[in-house]
């Protein structure tokens, strides 16, 4: 590829070495396996008459592809209307708020069955210092193909469950855990319903104001290119040798390759971060 050849020439001209060690100052969470030991579920909202809605969330097959998170809801619908929302968060891997100002979150969703209501709702969730926040999500129609969700968020885009606050993205903030919520509702009839769906390819990327500044020193220069070349040679973000968080994956496609190099060179030519 031409860009890969140019990247190699650029590296040779700078005479850089490309160490693999060192903490990466961008962070990325990617989960395509959903081990039960790494996920926790809880009820966020239940407006049913007896507040007796229940749910489950387990690792299962039938993902997009491979394993996924399988969720199910059981709740009472009454004519005046109800809603139920459940949270599912990855409690094994927090992200330090000092690493970002914005978030890019994506995942795939599918509704397998939702009698009478025909859909399930899904959206992003974060937990910080015992407080839970959600942001706008999407609806997956029963029986439809997998649906991809992705969005970018600042702190003001989140709403606190049971409060009016916003998450803290400052450098001194508490670590943040991420996940998703699932929900259902219904009105105009009386019935006990069960709905089921799946979530796969869950990814959170912490975005700094200057993503190509890979060592977080306020400029994009030779030291950042050293880090970039190390990741470029490895290629796959899932490789065990890739620096944690895969910070050089600047276009969020799971690999460090020619498109990322194009983005990096633009920032390198600018030098000073905005």
pLDDT of residue 206: 80
Same-domain status, 243 and 200: no
Same-domain status, 140 and 34: yes
Q: For the chain, how many residues are written?
A: 274
Same-domain status, 62 and 128: yes
Same-domain status, 112 and 203: yes
The answer to whether residue 19 is domain-embedded is no
CA angle 242, 247, 248 (to 5 degrees): 85
Instruction: State the pairing for strand pair 102-113/131-134.
Output: unpaired
The answer to whether residue 22 is domain-embedded is no
Same-domain status, 154 and 261: no
pLDDT of residue 136: 96
The answer to whether residue 262 is domain-embedded is yes
How many folded domains does the chain comprise?
2
Same-domain status, 184 and 226: no
Q: Answer yes or no: are the C-beta atoms of 194 and 76 closer than 8 Å.
A: no
pTM across the whole model: 0.77
List, in sequence order, every residue forming a beta bridge with 54; answer none if it has no partner: 74
pLDDT of residue 254: 83
The answer to whether residue 16 is domain-embedded is no
- Three-state DSSP class for 42? strand
Of 158, 187, 207, the domain-final residue: 207
The answer to whether residue 238 is domain-embedded is yes
Same-domain status, 55 and 169: yes
The answer to whether residue 1 is domain-embedded is no
The answer to whether residue 237 is domain-embedded is yes
Q: Name the region of 145 (left: φ>0; alpha: ψ -120 to 50; beta: rest).
A: beta
Of 192, 207, 222, the domain-final residue: 207
pLDDT digits (tens, 9 = 90+) for 144-196: 999 999 999 999 999 999 999 999 988 788 989 999 999 999 999 999 999 99
Of 168, 190, 207, the domain-final residue: 207
Same-domain status, 169 and 264: no
CATH of the domain at 219: 1.10.1330.10
pLDDT of residue 274: 67
pLDDT of residue 101: 73
The answer to whether residue 3 is domain-embedded is no
Domain that holds residue 167: 29-207
Q: Name the region of 214 (left: φ>0; alpha: ψ -120 to 50; beta: rest).
A: alpha
pLDDT-flagged residues of the chain (< 50): 1-5, 8-26
pLDDT of residue 29: 85
Same-domain status, 161 and 240: no
CATH of the domain at 62: 2.60.120.260
pLDDT of residue 22: 34
Same-domain status, 197 and 244: no
List, in sequence order, every residue forming a beta bridge with 184; answer none if it has no partner: 84
Same-domain status, 57 and 182: yes
Same-domain status, 254 and 180: no
């Amino acid at each position: 590829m031409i860009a890969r050849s140019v990247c190699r020439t650029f590296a040779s001209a700078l005479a850089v070495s490309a160490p693999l060690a060192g903490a990466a100052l961008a962070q990325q969470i990617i989960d395509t396996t959903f081990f039960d030991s790494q996920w926790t579920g809880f009820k966020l909202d239940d407006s049913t008459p007896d507040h007796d809605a229940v749910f489950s969330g387990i690792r299962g097959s039938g993902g997009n592809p491979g394993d996924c998170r399988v969720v199910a809801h059981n709740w009472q619908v009454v004519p005046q209307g109800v809603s139920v929302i459940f949270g599912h968060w990855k409690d094994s891997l927090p992200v330090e708020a000092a690493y970002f100002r914005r978030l890019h979150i994506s995942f795939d969703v599918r509704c397998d069955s939702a009698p009478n209501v025909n859909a399930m709702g899904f959206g992003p969730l974060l937990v910080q210092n015992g407080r839970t926040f959600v942001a706008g999500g999407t609806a997956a129609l029963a029986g439809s193909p997998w649906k991809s969700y992705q969005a970018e968020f600042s702190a003001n885009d989140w709403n606190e469950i049971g409060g009016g606050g916003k998450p803290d993205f400052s450098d001194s903030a508490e670590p943040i855990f991420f996940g998703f919520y699932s929900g259902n509702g219904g009105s105009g009839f009386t019935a006990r319903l069960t709905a089921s769906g799946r979530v796969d390819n869950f990814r959170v990327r912490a975005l700094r104001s200057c993503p190509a500044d890979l060592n977080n020193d306020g400029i994009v220069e030779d030291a950042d290119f050293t880090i970039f070349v190390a990741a470029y040679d490895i290629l796959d973000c899932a490789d065990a040798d890739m620096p944690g968080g895969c910070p050089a994956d600047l276009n969020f496609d799971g690999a460090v390759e020619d498109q990322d190099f194009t983005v990096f060179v633009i920032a390198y030519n600018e030098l000073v971060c905005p």
